[in-house]
Structure 1
Amino acid sequence: MPRSVSPDLPRTRIVVPLLCWLALLSDGYDLFVYGATLPAIVGHQPWFVTASAAGLVGSLALVGVLIGSLAAGTLSDLFGRRRLFIAALALFAAATACTALAPSFEIFAVTRFVAGLGIGGLMPTAIATASEFAPPAFRSRILGLVLTGPAVGGVLASLAALMLLPDHGFRAVYALGALPLIIVVPLAWFLLPESNAFRAGARADRPTSAASPVASLFGNHMGRATIGMWLVAMCSMLTMFGVTTWLPQIMRKAGYDIGSAVSFLLVYSVGAIVGTLVASAIAERVGPKPLVLGGFLTAAVSLGLLGTHPPTAVLVILVALAGFGGLGTQNMLNDHIATFYPAPIRATGLGWALGVGRTGAIVGPTYGAAFVAGGSAVIVSSLAFAVPALVGCAIMSTLPRRPRGATLDVDAPATTESLPH
């Protein structure tokens, strides 16, 4: 770490959340950019990409995200947030630059996979870092602000696609994703400190029931909650990634032109931003779990109503609500997970929940293709994404808010008491 960086300086209360927000903005850009550029990629010559092949590549990229999440979450708990933050961001940005230059669809697919490795490692590391630097009294609100980064990135991806696709094609949209390599990586190198929570956790002994950060997730009677959060994350990401990949195509089937169809991703992102900010403020009073439940229900209802062919004004509101119910729900789930696990295994808990959850994200594009690519009606496509949201809500309702006996301090040591049944 550069000598000039100190984790004790008051300015880190501003600099660290800002860097984490910029990193997650990159995550959101990557999340939305494939769906935003998909209509242009499917029709691109001489690649002649079919809808099935496009769905497969969307899933392949998420395999990389899964691997990155599982590996980096644990490595971050072992070797530090700062190193993994910078390495994951640099890998993602470099791979995205290569995506813009890909000469064939096969190489395009490979670069998307490599970008997924970086972006998968970035999310749990950034969330853990932001959580550990936030004052406990305002942790949910600050983490909520940081977690608007993915939605803002989605807005930028949608705007970039709207402005650049007609005249410059999809390559220019991906080229913008390389900007973090130029901007955020140097800033993080010079300004990002290592967290005191990680330093304290690194010096402390692991729970005696576990020999590694991953095993610790199942120690102290936390196994049932850990598995439950993995299943909830799977449902959340299947819904979110399926919708963000296929929403423009669903809107095209509903009769909108390509520009209007892509603009619905913008509405989706705005709904996620506003919803996350409001939900995070409420979470400081009631905790994030009720907001996860409400978000899932909002997603299910709004997605179900999309297929009823409402007027455009109503449709815009429903898509915005779906944005909160999709990306906003995942943000609140991340808040819940960061609160649930103690500092020594926080990034591992986040990384594995996000990593296992990415199996839902991997299935999402292919799952959506089965309904959107064929001759299915719009109502069938929209209801298909409402189902996993309802399943996620049902599972989340059975999980505890925190281990019994745990304090509200997110850096409290792991409890040895059992979870409530």
Structure 2
Amino acid sequence: MDRLPWSSWHWMIVVGLGSVWILDGLEVTVVGSVAARLSEPGSGIDITAAQVSGLAAAMYVAGAGTGALFFGWLTDRFGRKKLFLITLAVYLVATALTALSFSVWWFVIFRFLTGFGIGGEYAAINSAIDELIPRKYRGRIDIIINGSFWLGAAFGALLSIVALNTSLFPADIGWRLTFALGAVFGLVILLVRRHVPESPRWMFIHGREEKAERTVAEIEDRVRADTGTELADVSDQRIEITQRRSTGFGEIAAVLIKYYPRRATLGFALFIGQAFLYNAVTFNYALILTKSFDVPNDKVGYYFAVICVGNFMGPLFLGRLFDTVGRKPMIAGCYIGSALLLFGTAWLFGQGHLSAVTLTACWTAVLFVASCGASAAYLTVSEIFPMETRAMAIAFFYAIGTVAGGVAGPLVFAKLSEDGDPGRIALAFTIGALAMLAAGLVEVVYGVKAEGRSLEDLARPLSAAR
């Protein structure tokens, strides 16, 4: 799989699996964009803006963390394909029921369950992508796919402009359509995803070597037909495996703590840093624009779409450098660089030198750099631990790091941003910058040079003969 040239088959994998981040971006942005509208009289639900961007946002992230752990364990035990179909189905049902919300408790419960499905997607999808994408392209593809979150965010921002326009839709209908359309988009992805195969690596280790061989042969035949090239011989590259059915939590903990403590520290730092920064922005940016600059609710989407495009441009233009310049300098540079830019933004905002337009420009610059680092957090933890624990490792770091930064972040930043006070908002920016700076320094010390290396070379499988 690692020596295959790029082909149309790989594009199918990218579309079928990578589109989950578009859904996540859509979900997070829609909530931020409609927060003010939901809190207005006549919305059809009695809820405050702080409850939407604080409580509901925190519950979404808590659900994502819980779902990552639960489905991550199932993914390592029962396979990638079964779980990335189930988790998408959970998301579809939950987001559709969110559109039917009539009270705070209903909205919060189904935001939790929507996050529960999305969190499970992270574990199942990242592990499958890294095991199916050739090592030469793994870094840039993973970075761009994770960065596609912002395509969904841009779509959500623009969708909110239309949905919140009361001349087109009543106040109690428009916001519901944004959630309903997310479910429709997810259904389309589910149809494409049925054609994505199970990971041959997972099948081989779990006693399904004949099916794994057939799957690899079918993929190789298709790639030959697509590219018209013969594949390099790999008969001299062997690894002996003791097949197993499952990996226990005790063994997973030992791998993280006993065998790879530095890599575990690195994973925590990267996830906590990006979670504090991004949850501060995505859940509260609409409040900052409306409270600090009196931007109308139905115009917020224009501003948010701009920073979303900047976010996606970062991975698109810089992603290939993670395979050429290398993981360590690029990840450290993105985290530290975005932190320095954010410190400058915090100072300018606190001094009253920014408008809605110039703040958006500053955030676009910050997130152009930061988005590559944030995407690299997922790439890092999916590469540097043994195959048997891959999905669970992704889930573990995502859950711990994102719940730490993603639950505390929205609750703290919503409080700091709710009254539009420049000093308090600048403090929120500074907290996010400090988290990113600390993570960048950890990458400098503990970063792993993973570019161009096979997954088995980066972390020997637990099932491999010693």
The equivalent residue for 1:175 is: 180
Contact map agreement 1:217 1:226 (CA 8 A) in 2: no
Q: How far apart are the structure 2 equivalents of 1:289 and 1:206?
A: 33
Give 1:34's aligned amino acid: V
C-alpha deviation, 1:70, in angstroms: 1.2
Structure 2 distance, partners of 1:299, 1:206, is 44
Q: Distance in 2 between matches of 1:280 and 1:206?
A: 35
Q: How many pairs does the alignment contain?
A: 405
Using a 3 Å threshold, how does the CA distance of structure 1 residues 325 and 370 change in structure 2: closer, same or farther?
Answer: farther
Which residue identity does 1:23 align to in structure 2? V
Q: State whether residues 89 and 118 of structure 1, in contact with CA within 8 Å, keep that contact through their aligned partners in structure 2.
A: yes
Distance 1:216 1:400 in 2: 20
Of stretches 197-206 and 392-401 in structure 1, the one that deviates more from structure 2 is 197-206
- Alignment of structure 1 residues 300-379 onto 2, 5 Å: 300-307=339-346, 308=348, 309-310=353-354, 314-359=358-403, 360-374=405-419, 376-377=421-422, 378-379=425-426
Tell me the distance in 2 between the aligned counterparts of 1:375 and 1:249: 8
DSSP-derived class of the 2:198 partner: coil
Partner of 1:294: 333
Distance between the aligned counterparts of 1:291 and 1:413, measured in 2?
18
- Residue 102 of structure 2 aligns with an amino acid whose one-letter code is P
Gapped regions of structure 1 (runs ≥ 5): 1-6, 417-421
| From 428, 448, 466, the counterpart of 1:401 | 448
Residue 257 of structure 1 and its aligned partner are, at CA, apart by: 1.2
User: TM (normalized to structure 2)?
Assistant: 0.79
Of 20, 23, 45, 1:23 maps to 20
SS at structure 2 position matched to 1:102: coil
Unaligned runs of 5+ in 2: 208-240, 462-466
Maintained 8 Å contact 1:40/1:165: yes
Partners of 1:29 and 1:156 within 8 A in 2: yes
8 Å contact from structure 2 (residues 381, 394) kept in 1: yes
C-alpha deviation, 1:158, in angstroms = 0.7
Is residue 2:283 matched to residue 1:239?
no
Does the C-alpha gap of structure 1 residues 413 and 398 become closer, same or farther in structure 2, counting only changes over 3 Å?
closer
Contact 1:27 1:119 in 2 (8 A): yes
| 1:384-421 deviation line (CA, Å, top 9, x unaligned) | 43232223223333323159xx98112337349xxxxx
Aligned twin of 2:60: 61
User: Structure 2 vs 1, CA of residues 409 and 310 (structure 1 numbering), >3 Å: closer, same or farther?
Assistant: same
Q: Distance in 2 between matches of 1:40 and 1:326?
A: 29
- Who is 1:71 aligned against? 70
Q: Does the 8 A contact of 2:47 with 2:103 survive in 1?
A: no
Q: Within 1, Cα distance between the matches of 2:458 and 2:432?
A: 38
Report the Cα distance in structure 2 between the residues aligned to 1:165 and 1:401, rounded to whole angstroms.
46
Correspondence for 1:198: 202
TM-score by length of 1: 0.87
Question: Does the 8 Å contact 1:89/1:180 carry over to 2?
Answer: no
Could you tell me whether the CA contact under 8 Å between 1:242 and 1:385 is conserved in 2? Answer: yes
Q: Percent identity?
A: 21
Deviation sequence 1:188-241 (CA, Å, 0-9, x none): 22x01101122233344489xx85462353266202321331233122112111
When the two chains are superposed, the root-mean-square deviation of aligned CA atoms in Å is 2.8
AA paired with 1:49?
A: I
Q: Which amino acid aligns with 2:29?
A: F
Larger radius of gyration: 2
